[in-house]
Chains A and B, each alone.
Chain A
């Protein structure tokens, strides 16, 4: 069964610190992996999209990595800010159809001053 597992479920860090969120997947066939940021009460916003051949992608202070061999991805946030407080969702595409997007449950990040 296609699955996307994220860890940790929740995380609290101090402003200015770095953190790394994990995503493990068992999805076949693999098309691409996405990371979304979802602020409370809002819709998800795309951060990065990576295909099989891409092993790193950056978007400002967000850097995503992909290891297609071990089927793992991580999202690294550098110099966290209060505005980074949100849920971060890992999504794996199992093919060229919107019906094939597999969503993780997300990691809830709280950045404290």
Chain B
């Protein structure tokens, strides 16, 4: 199993550009999430999904869109990038939301100029 994969590993954008961060998992997990990690702060939840076709907002959803058309994929879209979105983005998945282990991807480092 590849686990949770993310692409790209690193991206530079100009303000106003759009892009999609890809996330895929091959563990047949229902639950998937997107987090951002900034220096001096804990991981913050952007959006999450409890299954194909179902998404919900987290703590910091503004400026980001998600969709979940398949169990495996959970892309994160930045519609109009802003410097405040410079961060490291992590995708995570789990079988459930109780005591189940949450698996994280390797992260995408995004720089918005």
Contact = CB atoms under 8 A, between A and B. Distances in A.
Nearest to B6: A43
Nearest to A103: B42
15 contacts: A41-B107, A43-B4, A44-B90, A44-B104, A46-B102, A89-B42, A97-B50, A98-B45, A98-B50, A98-B94, A101-B45, A103-B43, A104-B42, A105-B40, A106-B42
A104 to B, nearest CB: 6
A31 B102 CA distance: 15
A96 B98 contact: yes
B48 A49 contact: no
A98 B42 contact: no
B42 A32 contact: no
Contacts of B58: 99
A5 B101 CA distance: 22
B25 interface: no
Contacts of A4: 42
A21 to B, nearest CB: 15
A45 interface: yes
Contacts of B94: 98
B56 interface: yes
Which range contains the number of B residues in contact with the other chain? 20 to 34
A56 interface: no
Interface in A72-112: 89, 93, 96-99, 101, 103-106
Nearest to B92: A43
B12 interface: no
Nearest to B91: A43
Given A51-B99, A96-B98, A43 B42 contact: no
Interface in B81-113: 90, 92, 94, 97-99, 101-107
Interface in A3-33: 4, 31-32
A105 B42 contact: yes
A49 B98 CA distance: 10
- In order of increasing CB-CB distance, the 7 nearest A-B pairs are A43-B104, A103-B42, A103-B43, A98-B48, A105-B42, A46-B101, A98-B33
